[in-house]
Structure 1
Amino acid sequence: MIQTEIKKLDEALNEAITIAGNKQIPQLFSITEMIDYIDPFLFFDQAKHIEGNRVFWASSAENFYLVGAGEAFDICSSVDRFDQTEAKFKAMLAESLIYNSYRVPGTGPIAIGGFSFDPEKEKTRMWQQFPASQFRVPAYLLTIVDGVTYLTINTVVRPEDHQKQMEFNIAKNKKMLLANNTSLPEGPVINSKIEIDPVGWKELVRRATNDIKEEKADKIVLAREMRVTFEKKANISPILSKLTKAQTNSYIFAFENSDSCFLGATPERLVRVEDQHLLSTCLAGTAPRGKNKEEDYQIGLDLLRDVKNREEHEFVVKMIRDAVTACCIDVDVPSQPVLYPLKNLQHLYTPVKARLKSEYTIIDVVKRLHPTPALGGLPKVKSLEYIRENEELDRGWYGAPIGWLDAYKNGEFAVAIRSALIQGTEASLFSGCGVVKDSDPEAEYQETNIKFTPMLSVLGG
């Protein structure tokens, strides 16, 4: 990786083409500039005119946005997918020419994408366009952090490229992407919705509780699907805008592949690393919000005292503590959870803080954490096998790590829940819950209904 302070596009391109010519191999060229503020949702909407697909990531509470248009580089892996993803990203960076004097987390040639929940599960047609692991380096990346806006341009430079032609294409795309005189299209309206075999799902919960009592597992997370249809093809940008406004303590994400887009608003951070400082989140145990302050307070108090939810939460805390301790020093885990309020739900929450050892990366931690007991169960291998053999749903990327990493060892991953896969005029919504020995099938069913609410509310339902 060549890191330089050159800022002018023409100078940087000239140097990049010269280096590519001398080496006689393509080079990833990346240049970052500070720009005036541009609405991230307008940028995402305009990105539909760029060849390639779009990506979106936002931490609504921190006013942090990553919006990608097009594709400069794609990283797909199926075997040893965590290790291969990191190896391919490092190899790409080794042959990159990076012009970024800011070095702010989320600028430069970031890779943004995710993993499937279980690559050994037979893939259905629904998830055909989403591989076991895929990360994209956007051709144009908008980054908003701490109130400052950056634009990173990533492209592969070849020895035979013409500088003036590249400058012309970049200028044309920038003008289109940064246009502020546009407005978002209308969002979707749901025509119909259907739950996929709720009776069979409740029966599966009943069987799982019996199997847990027979000590085949301690906890098994079971998920189900709801399908909706729209009046016309769904526009993605207004959905993301509504999610960001409504789910203020969540990560908003979207990953587009051709005519499919996986998106959601998840409250569950898996891990964040910035300057080797690590933060993970234990989020398990769920209750609805109250209709007024008094009811909300009582529901929260009941959640904190509920044996089943506290047990479920402690499973997650122990697993995350052990996984983080293997890669970190100075691990700090509070002894008691607190409440984490969202618009429609509240959860038990325990933060885990640590310092990542120099020989480890964020992908090493993601590999150890997935799947957490909040999405898989315990023991990890037994619960995963149970889900694979008994659950009707092909989870695809649902419940799996989705996030980003940059050239400076920063990054963040969340667990892709409260999500939907939108495909033209149809969408599949996903919801799950943790089953333990005392679980009641009807209560678990109602919990999953509540968890469908955040997506339904922004899809016109």
Structure 2
Amino acid sequence: MKYSEQINSAYKAQKPFVAYKNPNENKIHVIIQDTDELIEFEDFTASGFVFAPFNDADKAILIKPDICFVDQVQSVDFELKKNVYNNNEDEKLNHINIVNNAINTIKETELSKIVISRKEEVLVPDFDLLAVYNKLINKYANAYVYVWFHPKVGLWMGATPETLLKVVGNKFKTMALAGTQPFKGDINPIWGEKELEEQQMVSDFIQQHLENVVDDLELSKVETVKAGSLLHLKTNITGRLRKSKDVQSLVKLLHPTPAVCGLPKELSKTFILQNENYNRSYYSGYLGVLNIAEETSFFVNLRCFQLLNNTAILYVGGGITTESNAQKEWEETVAKSQIIKSVL
């Protein structure tokens, strides 16, 4: 049975399932839970697929691996929609106001970065789950591309460029990912001071929080990576766990990352919860396999959308520092929203 048939079958039967493709891999992994039980995730010794929210006050969910299936990616021909812009002036003004508030707060307090996000609704009356998922898979080869469903929660889909934590045995990998600019044909563009500073903040945060709790910590040189039509700055970070239970403590240290929250973490998170004026839900949370085939791989839930009735709710954001320009930050969220809009 093909992965498309597995997904269709589980979705029609309203069974909890997830299908995912790892970055630069040509395989689709499908995990299906036999019952519609909503299992809250609390135990890092469990095995299954974790779907965790941005805010710890909300519930993380575990899908049990009752059925596990692996299949090759199906190559499909498709056309992407271009330049599907949102011209809602109220949304734009609201976002710009919140960004300006964040810039002023950073200037007046010990905060150095706040990530401000927004949601955008797109009507999709003829939504085709498999068609959209196949477009994402074929378009974003170097991303973690997933579709997740639980009948008591709903459907989420995305193509994220950011690893939160990957653990095999006692070795782990994570990354510092920050800074954004449109791809204009050059994979090694000139980066502005704002983006370079933002990337350094994220790298420093991870290094400072991990260097006393892991062994053999190493940070690579900063590189430019392409995610769809956007470029980001990335530092690969590796090391060795001292104890197997350290996976839970590492996740707690890293989540939410400075790339989706800010610095210092708790202060920026408080600002976000008080000022964004909406619930991020599972956007900028994390998702992935836990203790399956001796591997744990969590990714940050970016470039994603939630399907509600005939509406796709898109989530996009950007890192704000003292160097930020509110108009440009709005334009960055518009560029990021194109990634999902192009496949809907």
Alignment partner, residue 239 of structure 1: 132
Paired with 2:243 and 2:54, the residues of 1 have a C-alpha distance of 28
Deviation string for 1:342-364 (max 9, x for gaps)? 23011101100112223434333
Matched letter for residue 112 of structure 1? F
Alignment partner of 1:353 out of 218, 233, 238: 238
Post-superposition offset of 1:324:
3.3
The alignment's C-alpha RMSD in Å is 2.8
Tell me how far 1:414 sits from its aligned partner: 0.6
Instruction: Give deviations 1:231-262, integer Å, cap 9, x for gaps.
Output: 23x23222111101001110012221227211
SS in 1 for 2:228: coil
SS in 2 for 1:282: strand
Question: What residue is the counterpart of 2:300 in the other structure?
Answer: 415
The number of residues matched between the two structures is 339
CA apart distance, 1:118: 1.2
The one-letter code matched in structure 2 to 1:76 is E
* Contact 2:50/2:290 (8 A) holds in 1: no
Contact 2:136 2:343 (8 Å CA) reproduced: yes
Report the alpha carbon displacement of residue 301 of structure 1 after superposing the two structures with TM.
2.5
Distance 1:322 1:236 in 2: 42
1:208 is aligned, of 60, 80, 102, to 102
Match of 1:376 in 2: 261
Q: Corresponding residue for 2:314?
A: 429
Name the CA distance, whole Å, in 1 between partners of 2:292 and 2:5. 27
CA contact (8 A) 1:243 1:252 kept: yes
TM-score (norm: length of structure 2): 0.90
Is it true that 1:342 corresponds to 2:227 in the alignment? yes
Equivalences for residues 163-178 of structure 1 within 5 A: none
Cα distance in structure 2, aligned partners of 1:43 and 1:206:
47
Do 2:85 and 2:334's aligned partners in 1 also have CA atoms closer than 8 Å? no
Offset, 1:212: 0.7
- The question of whether the paired residues in 2 share the 8 Å contact of 1:223 and 1:393 is answered with no
Preserved contact between residue 325 and residue 331 of structure 1 (Cα < 8 Å):
yes
Query: Counterpart of 2:62?
Result: 135
- Give yes or no for contact 1:420–1:430 (8 Å, CA) kept in 2: yes
Note closer, same or farther for the CA distance 1:384–1:327 as it changes in structure 2 (3 Å cut). Answer: same
Match of 2:210 among 324, 331, 353: 324
1:40, 1:282 → 2: CA distance?
A: 32
The 8 Å contact of residues 144 and 160 in structure 2, kept in 1 or not, is answered as yes
Task: For CA contacts below 8 A with separation 6 or more, give which structure has more relative contact order.
Answer: 2
Counterpart for residue 168 of structure 2: 274
SS at match of 1:406: strand
Structure richer in helix, relative to its length: 1
Deviations 1:163-199 (A, max 9, x none): xxxxxxxxxxxxxxxxx9xxx9x99999996757220
Partners of 1:189 and 1:230 within 8 A in 2: no
Give 1:379-390 correspondences, 5 Å limit. 379-390=264-275
Name the CA distance, whole Å, in 2 between partners of 1:200 and 1:326.
41
Q: For 2:95 and 2:53, how far apart are their aligned partners in 1? A: 22
8 Å contact kept, 2:44–2:290: no
**Deviations along 1:102-137, whole A, 9 cap, x unmatched?**
xxxxxxxx41122111144xxxxxxxxxx5210111
Q: 1:399 aligns with which of 269, 276, 284?
A: 284
Is the Cα contact below 8 Å between 2:170 and 2:244 reproduced in 1? no
1:42 corresponds to = 5
- Aligned counterpart, 1:458: 343
Distance 1:392 1:260 in 2: 22
Q: Distance in 2 between matches of 1:54 and 1:407?
A: 15
Q: Unaligned regions of 5+ residues in structure 1, if any?
A: 1-37, 78-83, 90-109, 121-130, 150-179
In structure 2, the partner of 1:76 is: 40
Instruction: Determine if contact 2:81/2:341 at 8 Å carries over to the other structure.
Output: no
Q: Is the 8 A contact 1:361 1:409 kept in 2?
A: no
The residue matched to 2:318 in structure 1 has which SS? Answer: strand
1:313 matched residue in structure 2: 199
1:78-157 pair list within 5 angstroms = 84-86=42-44, 89=46, 110-120=47-57, 132-143=59-70
Q: Could you tell me which residue of structure 2 aligns to residue 154 of structure 1?
A: none
Report Cα offsets for 1:264-321 as digits up to 9, x if no partner. 000001111112221111111111011xx4xx25xx4312xx2110111011111222
Residue pair 1:60, 1:244 contacting (<8 A) in 2 also: no
**1:406–1:119 Cα change, 3 Å:** closer
Aligned-partner SS, 1:197: helix
* Aligned partner letter, 1:426: T
Q: Distance in 1 between matches of 2:139 and 2:125?
A: 23
Paired residue secondary structure (1:312): helix
**Which residue pairs with 1:92 in the alignment?**
none
Provide the secondary structure at the position in 1 that maps to 2:271: helix
How far apart in 2 are the matches of 1:264 and 1:381? 26
Secondary structure of the residue aligned to 1:212 is helix
Q: Does 1:289 align with 2:183?
A: yes
Whole-Å Cα distance in 2 between the matches of residues 66 and 326 of structure 1? 35
Task: Name the CA distance, whole Å, in 2 between partners of 1:455 and 1:224.
Answer: 14
TM-score by length of 1: 0.68
Amino acid at match of 1:256: F
Q: Which residue of 1 aligns with 2:331?
A: 446
Secondary structure, in 3 states, of the residue corresponding to 2:20?
A: strand
Query: What is the aligned-residue identity percentage?
Result: 25
Hey, what's the Cα distance between the residues in 2 that align with 1:445 and 1:283?
Answer: 19
After superposition, the Cα gap between the structure-2 partners of 1:256 and 1:397, relative to the gap in structure 1 and judged at 3 Å, is: same
Report the residue type matching 2:234 in the other structure. Answer: Y
Would you say the 8 A contact 2:17–2:63 is kept in 1? Answer: no
Is the contact between residue 282 and residue 313 of structure 1 (CA under 8 Å) also seen in structure 2? yes
Distance 1:267 1:192 in 2: 22
2:14, 2:150 within 8 Å by CA — same for their partners in 1? no
Does the C-alpha gap of structure 1 residues 241 and 323 become closer, same or farther in structure 2, counting only changes over 3 Å?
farther
